[in-house]
A and B are shown apart, each in its own frame.
Chain A
């Protein structure tokens, strides 16, 4: 079972070794040479075609229609999907379900999209994810609006839209329409060892000034204050962007998301960058961390070589094999700067692991129904048990599920944050801008560019990538 597998999202080596388990349909072979021959567009079914007041079968799924499910076989494994498929089979015993799982989503599915015969439900995630903005631009995705307005299975008086965690719909939105159901709920921040802090009498800082002071104390003890997954500047970039969102508020975040170049002239950006740069300037980084992979740096952190590391809440599941039993993993929101528009408790929280229903799938109705079934307490609980993570269903995990210390601390943080959560959208909607920002952040951490140059690069990239 996949619950203890590490989270391989950005692991390049393993990705290379992960060779096919399944035989993709013969159609993919035929289509393997470049574009293949696409069938003519069936067109997306209008929402009007569904009877959304019918709680039993709002999308009119035909029992005889088969369902093909494709799962990204990453940190969460694919066992959970089999549990979901069992739920689907109970309702539609006549449906033949074809279950597939692989790490290489693009490699397996790009030819099938091009051939016009994609699976009915896809967990489109991982390092080889098919980019959602690209798929949406090519009219390959089903608009999930009917799903959001469909009845919630556990309580048909509610609509699906009302039982989702905040931010889920935003994460599913690409260019104004909801195209994916981001099923796993993740929070982002700094992580530290409760044991290390207790042994040394340190307390978790709430302001950036306290953070810096604490870093000085940590350094005096001979421990590196900060590690980061430098080979993939994604992680440290999250810290910088979240501090910008907290200082400048949600308005600024939205302007950045919309690639408004003038957003980078906002004084909040400079304030954050100058404050953040102290980490680099005061030599708080673990030596060598700028070139380390996530595995190397996170393991060093587990060995108490560094005090803080930034990551999403998948960290605990990913580090299960190397975390000492008494490590007591703890989550810390990004510390506050003076004049922040959002409170200390505010965190980047978002639904990840996007599930999509291709518009050219054979059984679009079945795909939508499958997603609706995932949003039940039964399915959500199954997911928490097998994948050790929370889902985007509100109160989706009952008290009977035992949580590990790190995950438990994220639940506390989420409760404290309340509705003060935020999430950037640009990584899903502007891939090239995201890449430029990450590269610039890598350069900043290595002291090869200054904060002013970082801002200049961000602004240039926003200008360049802004499309009409």
Chain B
């Protein structure tokens, strides 16, 4: 080993490590510490209460409901988004009719790419206003207006969308999928363009249909990208805070009606900022942390395949 190699490396890593420890690890550790106290969030006075916050979480029905809603998103959001994004990406890149020119996307593919990506560039605040107008609960709402024109709802009995406890989570899911598909479409498209054309051409020569090319060639070669997308989407599903807190009913961070769209994050924020239970909120934060950590490990492990070199 050459003399002075390690000090040299450490010299480069010093700043990033200090930042990482100071801005990531230390706050995490603090959160663990606060979760063992009855801190109100408004002063430095607090008592150590051991695991009381965690035992309280076990009996908290609102928290259980929130956890369930997060799980629902966690399962459905990645599946739906990835399926739709894969389908569109395939159609835009290799789904076109194979003419003499070989492999290509459907007509107007570049235009569609821009259109599908568009929701991604909208900020959450704009999304909230936009979908607030779509989901408005009287006949002036876009969705209700269309349903009433079609005779599927009446002026006196419009669909209650976000204010209907049975619909609210589905409405939220729809917005998340709508705003997410574009990004993953572009991600998958980029990955698909990395797949050599000759593989497709060989398949076409052998008489493969669109479905076969997709399942036998595209999907296996895209597997790593899909895996990454899955992890990202799982993290979105565990959070989803900004959207839910800005479009669902309820004065402090949404979550309504009557906790029917409550997520761990909205419940956490309300406990922290409104109800003066910052210690309790930190305990929820710790639960989210472990939950996300375990899920990430599990999903990385479950989707592990041999890498295909090409």
Contacts and interface: CB of A to CB of B under 8 A. Distances in A.
- In which size bucket is the chain A interface? 35 or more
B137 A288 contact: yes
B162 to A, nearest CB: 6
Interface in B136-171: 136-141, 144, 155-158, 160-165
A287 B30 contact: no
A431 B276 contact: yes
Nearest to A436: B258
Contact of B257 (A12, A13, A432, A446): A446
Contact of B42 (A12, A138, A288, A442): A138
Interface stretch (B8-16, B121-129, B196-204): B121-129
A290 B42 contact: no
Interface residues of B, number: 53
Contact of A137 (B34, B256, B273, B276): B276
B119 interface: no
Nearest to A431: B275
B249 interface: yes
Contacts of A13: 125, 128-129, 132, 246
Interface stretch (A123-131, A255-263, A344-352, A398-406): A123-131
A137 B258 contact: no
Interface in B102-124: 124
A287 B42 contact: no
Contact of A10 (B124, B163, B164, B251): B251
Contact of B254 (A12, A38, A300, A439): A12
Interface string B6-31: 00000000000000000100110011
B39 interface: yes
A230 B258 CA distance: 12
Given A113-B42, A114-B44, A439-B257, A131 B276 contact: yes
Contacts of B140: 296
B interface SS class: loop
Nearest to B27: A33
Given A131-B274, A288-B136, A231 B30 contact: no
Interface string A100-144: 000000100010011010000000000110110111011110000
A276 to B, nearest CB: 18
Interface in A4-44: 10, 12-13, 16-17, 33-35, 38
Interface string B263-284: 0000000100111100000000
Interface in B246-264: 246, 249-252, 254, 256-259
Nearest to A287: B156
Interface string B33-53: 010000111111100000000
B44 A35 contact: yes
B160 A291 contact: yes
A10 B250 CA distance: 9
Contacts of A139: 43, 45
Contacts of B245: 12
B128 A16 contact: yes
20 contacts: A10-B251, A12-B251, A16-B125, A33-B27, A127-B252, A130-B42, A134-B40, A134-B41, A230-B249, A288-B139, A290-B160, A291-B135, A291-B160, A431-B274, A431-B275, A435-B274, A442-B249, A442-B257, A448-B165, A448-B258
Interface of A: 10, 12-13, 16-17, 33-35, 38, 106, 110, 113-114, 116, 127-128, 130-131, 133-135, 137-140, 230-234, 286-293, 296, 300, 431-432, 435, 438-440, 442-443, 446, 448
Interface of B: 23, 26-27, 30-31, 34, 39-45, 124-125, 128-129, 132, 135-141, 144, 155-158, 160-165, 242, 245-246, 249-252, 254, 256-259, 270, 273-276
